[in-house]
Structure 1
Amino acid sequence: MAITKSNIPPKAQKLPPGVYTPVISLYKPTKTQELDLDAMYKHAQYLVRGGMHGLVYQGTNGEAVLLTREERIQALKTARRAVTDLGVPEYPIVAGISAESTNTSIELAKDAAEAGASFALLLPPSYWTKAISEEALHKFFRDVADESPLPLVLYNFPQVTPGQDLTSDDLIALAQHPNIVATKLTCANVGKAIRVTSKFTPEQFTVFGGSSDFLFPTLEAGGSGCVAALGNVFPKSTSKLYDLWVAGEKEQARALQDVVANAEWACKKGVVLTKFGAGHFVGPKIGVKAEAFHPRRPYLPPAEKAQKWTVDIMGVLLDEEEKIPDKTFGVNGAK
């Protein structure tokens, strides 16, 4: 018995496979917490040197809802400058364009393209959930895709969109659009991923997991990678898991998956602990003070007990991270 594959043509632009970091926003230690673009530049280069295959800005971990339109533009321009200065000007940068209205999402997509982003990431609308029928939901994504200068990645994260959970039927229907190229499944539903990958090749529509704690099963299910908050803290280990799997070193990849899954548990508690972990483990390495990693008000840094717990949980990856060398770059990119 076989599943009939879709016959839609390959997409003009495919989201490259691999592990992406949903990059956190860093702030100056002032009352209004302006973006610390210098710190974000350093962090971006640290992630790329750490082996990340792409960066995602203005997603949930980027605190997108707390940023102004101008701040979004500044952050994306800084990221593009950071990768260009490393010698990889075509490095994939995905920009979150999620908004409650179709018009605003289109505006953000155009802003992101002008600022140097490569792809756009979009959540379902969720302000009036009872008014969002299947027809309205599909029309929202298609209308944005029609006008977006960037290829669209569907972002499914039911925890932040109350009542809105893109089903495999939704994804399969929306994948027919020529400018909808991929999905990020933070719902962690591997069954959903399998149903979608059973219908499409990665050239037609690409499936990514929403965290690294189920990267191995995502890849085994036909997915192309993941977007992992843990990458903000341990980019080398999370990207290595993917690289091992691609190289056919599945036994090593499976063993590393166990450790990565345990370390990412802290990220599951929310962006506050993810940012603290990055400040603790990464801040000293890139010369950025811990205050830059504080969440934006009204959210507060974690209490001392939560800080200790985060260090203990994430720390299981420290030895692995330290023994992996940085990637080096030249005029023609990675070496």
Structure 2
Amino acid sequence: MSTGSRTSEPKMKPLPAGVWTPVITLYEDTPEQSVDHDAMYKHCQHLVRSGMHGLVYLGTNGELALLAREERQAILRNARRAVADLGKPGYPIVAGISAQSTAETMQLAREAGEAGAGWGLLLPPSYWAKALSTEALLTYFRDVADASPIPIVVYNFPGVTSGVDLDSDQLAALASHPNIVATKLTCGNVGKLTRLTSKFEPAHFGVYGGSSDYLLPTLHAGGHGCVTGLGNVFPRATSMVYDLWAAGKLDEARVLQDKVANAEWACKKGIAQTKYGAWWFVGRKSLGLDANLFNMRKPYLPLGEEAKKWTVETMQVLEAAEDALLRGS
């Protein structure tokens, strides 16, 4: 926990600490590639049963940009039903609500809340990025937060926003808003993370890494967890890094972190690799799902055979640990 000064009021609904999975979207093997809600229901319950601390739907790994508004709402309702059927109706779910205009984003925030999301994950706008001043960016987030029925998590990922990269001063300014509760830093900037954790405790503004390959450095710097695509593949092992750290078992956490970091290297190559790994290690082994359900939505193409082989070989370093943890849980 940060020992820095509290520069904002505690939030009414802070984002829980821990490891979150940005859940992939699964599609029927048809020309239209409609969302396969039955497969996603099974995958959701597997993630929750495996000990994941929270789920993020409609993020980058969820292919938000490729989904219609009606599909987004249906995915959220399906996830809420899946966790309720496990006897966990209050299980934490975040929903991506990003759009380019303030007006559309406000509407997506309202729809996400109606569909059962507890928080909204929001990228900065990026259309004609050089015209977006600091004032424009801050006003965008504040306007959406003012109108949103659910708290906002600021999502900083310059790789998908034409290079728009919120700095620690901009994020600290947003943290003072009563309905902006956290940030996800997929920029991977641990210095930025540390500057923020020096100013805010979790109840005031949560700071999360954007992947699990630097989860322990994030936690040691005062961060509150991470959101990791690798959770789709190895949910027990990724969440266990946090659990071991929280229990003070730092040596065990370090051993597992090393394996997690090496396995996540495959996820760094793209969503297609993450989805193929999720099929190979979860969909194929545990859920009985067809590989084609895990393809990205077109125009993105399936991986070639060499890329599939490399993905499996890279991720296999974590397979034995995941299996042993699941057997012991």
Residue 53 in 1 paired to residue 53 in 2? yes
User: Could you tell me whether the CA contact under 8 Å between 2:7 and 2:176 is conserved in 1?
Assistant: no
Residue 18 in 1 paired to residue 18 in 2? yes
Question: Where does residue 167 of structure 2 map in the other structure?
Answer: 167
* Structure 1: unaligned runs, 5 residues or longer: 329-335
Amino acid at match of 2:299: P
Corresponding residue SS for 1:239: helix
Residue 325 in 1 paired to residue 303 in 2? no
Question: Where does residue 147 of structure 1 map in the other structure?
Answer: 147
TM-score under structure 1 normalisation?
A: 0.96
User: Could you tell me whether the CA contact under 8 Å between 1:184 and 1:227 is conserved in 2?
Assistant: yes
Q: Are residues 125 and 256 of structure 1, via their aligned partners in 2, closer, same or farther at CA, if it must alter by over 3 Å? A: same
Question: Where does residue 331 of structure 1 map in the other structure?
Answer: none
Q: Distance in 2 between matches of 1:139 and 1:234?
A: 38
Residue 36 in 1 paired to residue 36 in 2? yes
* Structure 2: unaligned runs, 5 residues or longer: none
Question: Where does residue 254 of structure 2 map in the other structure?
Answer: 254
- The Cα of 1:219 is off from its aligned counterpart by 0.4
- The Cα of 1:33 is off from its aligned counterpart by 0.1
Question: Where does residue 108 of structure 2 map in the other structure?
Answer: 108
Identical columns (%): 62
Q: Residues 173-216 of structure 1, C-alpha deviation per residue, up to 9 Å, x if partnerless?
A: 00000000000000011110000000011110000000000000
User: Could you tell me whether the CA contact under 8 Å between 2:181 and 2:204 is conserved in 1?
Assistant: yes
Question: Where does residue 278 of structure 1 map in the other structure?
Answer: 278
Pairing 1:305-316 to 2, within 5 Å after superposition:
305-316=306-317
- The Cα of 1:6 is off from its aligned counterpart by 3.0
- The Cα of 1:255 is off from its aligned counterpart by 1.2
Amino acid at match of 1:49: R
Amino acid at match of 1:151: P
Q: Are residues 113 and 264 of structure 1, via their aligned partners in 2, closer, same or farther at CA, if it must alter by over 3 Å? A: same
Q: Distance in 2 between matches of 1:83 and 1:326?
A: 22
Q: Distance in 2 between matches of 1:144 and 1:267?
A: 31
Of stretches 276-285 and 81-90 in structure 1, the one that deviates more from structure 2 is 276-285
Q: Are residues 4 and 48 of structure 1, via their aligned partners in 2, closer, same or farther at CA, if it must alter by over 3 Å? A: closer
Amino acid at match of 2:296: P
User: Could you tell me whether the CA contact under 8 Å between 1:50 and 1:326 is conserved in 2?
Assistant: no
Pairing 1:1-335 to 2, within 5 Å after superposition:
5-284=5-284, 285-325=286-326
Of stretches 4-13 and 115-124 in structure 1, the one that deviates more from structure 2 is 4-13
Q: Distance in 1 between matches of 2:84 and 2:327?
A: 17
Corresponding residue SS for 1:254: helix
RMSD: 1.3
Q: Distance in 2 between matches of 1:298 and 1:206?
A: 35
- The Cα of 1:326 is off from its aligned counterpart by 6.7
Question: Where does residue 333 of structure 1 map in the other structure?
Answer: none
Q: Distance in 2 between matches of 1:66 and 1:279?
A: 20
Amino acid at match of 2:130: K
Q: Distance in 2 between matches of 1:67 and 1:142?
A: 25
Corresponding residue SS for 2:213: helix
Q: Distance in 2 between matches of 1:153 and 1:259?
A: 29
- The Cα of 1:312 is off from its aligned counterpart by 0.3
User: Could you tell me whether the CA contact under 8 Å between 1:197 and 1:222 is conserved in 2?
Assistant: yes
Corresponding residue SS for 1:183: strand
Q: Distance in 2 between matches of 1:227 and 1:43?
A: 17
Q: Residues 94-136 of structure 1, C-alpha deviation per residue, up to 9 Å, x if partnerless?
A: 0000000001111111110010000000000001111100000
Q: Are residues 139 and 281 of structure 1, via their aligned partners in 2, closer, same or farther at CA, if it must alter by over 3 Å? A: same
- The Cα of 1:324 is off from its aligned counterpart by 1.1
- The Cα of 1:281 is off from its aligned counterpart by 1.0
- Equivalenced residue count is 327
User: Could you tell me whether the CA contact under 8 Å between 1:51 and 1:326 is conserved in 2?
Assistant: no
